[in-house]
Structure 1
Amino acid sequence: MFNNMYRNERLKDIMNLLEKNKKMHVTDMQNRLFLSQSTLRRDLIYLEKNNLIKREFGQVYLLQNSNIEFPYLYRNQSNQSKKRLICKKAANFVEDNFALFLDSSSTVYSLPDFLLKKQNLTVITNGLTLANKINTMPNIRLFFLGGSVPTYVGSSVGTETFVQIEKYHANLAIMSFGGIKGTDIYITDQDQANIRAKMIENSRKSILLLDSTKFGKQDFIKFGTLANFDILITDKKPQKRILDYASKNSIKIVY
């Protein structure tokens, strides 16, 4: 069964194993994931080229900077149907003449596809691929946040990016995160967390986009709670605990 999984799902399983164990022998990893030697070897070569792991004497090590994020290209290809469904729902909250903060997440990348009929929008983003997409849309004025661009991450981060956000104020901040456990929101990188927090601070309302695969998932850094957001949009009905929490904190949930 595992041999037939999409490559992105295999990569996720490999990284999840290494996040728990930090170091594993290739043979042990192969047995745990039920992968052929050749398939695992190709996946490990890919991860090593992307500076996420190191292979040495039959051992696989998780590199220290691997908590940054999975490469954008591979994140962008996973759970596409769920992400597009969520973005279609999110577009209903965008009105003509709105200014939007959009983060660099692979989920938000699909949102512009559903904004084609909106007029006179302004988007401020730190997402490279998102900026390239929006740059072809005549109905959107684009402001790209400069700063340091780590290899394979697909976004600008750091002090310069953070400072630039201070100049802008938006009607909506729309973003996604790595996971939610209970009512706590998690992310893998502190720079990305700081940027998203500043976007929320400088917006009238904030919208959280999370597909159902992210529920119950805890990442490296706790960002905050659902109470940081005005609206949660997902593709399935959340657990009762989340629905109750949302009701008590005046958070609108769309699914």
Structure 2
Amino acid sequence: MTASETADRGRPAQRQAEIAEYVMQQGSVSAADLAEMFHVSLMTVHRDLDELEKQGVVRKFRGGVSAQPSSVFESNVSYRLRAARTEKLALAQRARELVEPGMAVMLDDSTSTLELARLLVDAGPLTVITNFLETIKLLSGVRGIRLLSLGGEYYATHDSFLGVPCMEAIEALRVDLLFASTSAVSGSYAYHQEQEIVLVKRAMIRCAQRSVLLVDHTKLGRVALHRVAPLRDFDLVLTDSGAPAETLREMRENGVAYEIV
């Protein structure tokens, strides 16, 4: 072991944080590149990546690591917070126009609806229901906002509450508007990688008088392991000007109501 590695072993947490930050910036990177960049052995890098994978920050593949989603893995919330920020803000601004004082509005645990939550701080009187810890922290104590948090099992990867208790809490409610997002849209269906999130999103759709799906163009033309719902189950699909023409054609042919922002 080199002198630099010996010194480095005293600060693995700091190195792992720096590795996570770099991977989230790059999307994907090889283990060999990380070993060279951080002046440690490949074995040390793999130990760090094992710990980060255990925390749900990244996922390993042969020879490297990624923070990007796949058809079976959703990306960590820290990565999603950085992705498509301009598009998500445009979607949120249009969604905000649909919110009226006195409504009960449900927001799922997506970073797209978090952008909308930022625009609701002056929308009161309003009741907001969510299972996303970031949204709960953002709106707690905001004047004019009655905040209902949906409990359940906490999932660090998503920074949200899921599971049977969350679904039961949703099923006891009836809201005016649901704003939701998902990780993939293909053909006439919305998809997601994880069944726990799929079940919660379906419960949210059932409890809402109107449902709006916010999906930026990076999610279109992609599939994930589980079907969430047909797009026609949403009263409106909001997407941005980067949406592929083929996807928009499919939505029109399937009778999906959509708007481009």
After TM superposition, the score normalised by the length of structure 1 is: 0.77
1:183 alignment partner in structure 2 = 188
2:148 alignment partner in structure 1 = 143
Superposed displacement of residue 44, structure 1: 3.8
Identity of aligned residues (%): 26
Superposed displacement of residue 225, structure 1: 2.2
Q: 1:252 aligns with which of 252, 255, 258?
A: 258
Aligned pairs (5 A) from 1:75-90: 75-90=80-95
Match status 1:122 vs 2:127? yes
CA 1:222–1:229: 2 relative to 1, 3 Å: same
2:26 alignment partner in structure 1 = 10
For structure 2, the residue ranges without an aligned partner over 5 or more in a row are 1-20
Superposed displacement of residue 54, structure 1: 6.0
Distance 1:250 1:226 in 2: 6
CA 1:252–1:70: 2 relative to 1, 3 Å: closer
Distance 1:6 1:85 in 2: 27
Match status 1:194 vs 2:210? no
The alignment's C-alpha RMSD in Å is: 3.1
Q: Deviations over 1:115-159 (max 9, x none)?
A: 233221111111011111011321211000111002332000100
Match status 1:208 vs 2:213? yes
CA 1:191–1:134: 2 relative to 1, 3 Å: same
CA 1:251–1:77: 2 relative to 1, 3 Å: same
After TM superposition, the score normalised by the length of structure 2 is: 0.76
1:222 alignment partner in structure 2 = 227
CA 1:216–1:54: 2 relative to 1, 3 Å: closer
Greater Rg, structure 1 or structure 2?
2
Distance 1:158 1:89 in 2: 30
Q: Deviations over 1:50-104 (max 9, x none)?
A: 245469xx86699xxx946322122112221211111111101111111111001
Check whether the contact 2:187–2:251 (CA below 8 A) recurs between aligned residues. no
Distance 1:158 1:10 in 2: 32
1:74 alignment partner in structure 2 = 79
CA 1:241–1:180: 2 relative to 1, 3 Å: closer
SS of the aligned residue for 2:241 comes to coil
**What is the aligned length?**
229
Superposed displacement of residue 26, structure 1: 4.5
After TM superposition, the structure 1 stretch with the greater mean CA deviation from structure 2, 235-244 or 110-119, is 235-244
Distance 1:210 1:228 in 2: 15
Q: 1:133 aligns with which of 128, 135, 138?
A: 138
SS of the aligned residue for 1:83 comes to helix
CA 1:119–1:222: 2 relative to 1, 3 Å: same
Check whether the contact 2:107–2:179 (CA below 8 A) recurs between aligned residues. yes
CA 1:245–1:71: 2 relative to 1, 3 Å: closer
Distance 1:245 1:207 in 2: 15
Superposed displacement of residue 254, structure 1: 3.4
CA 1:158–1:176: 2 relative to 1, 3 Å: same
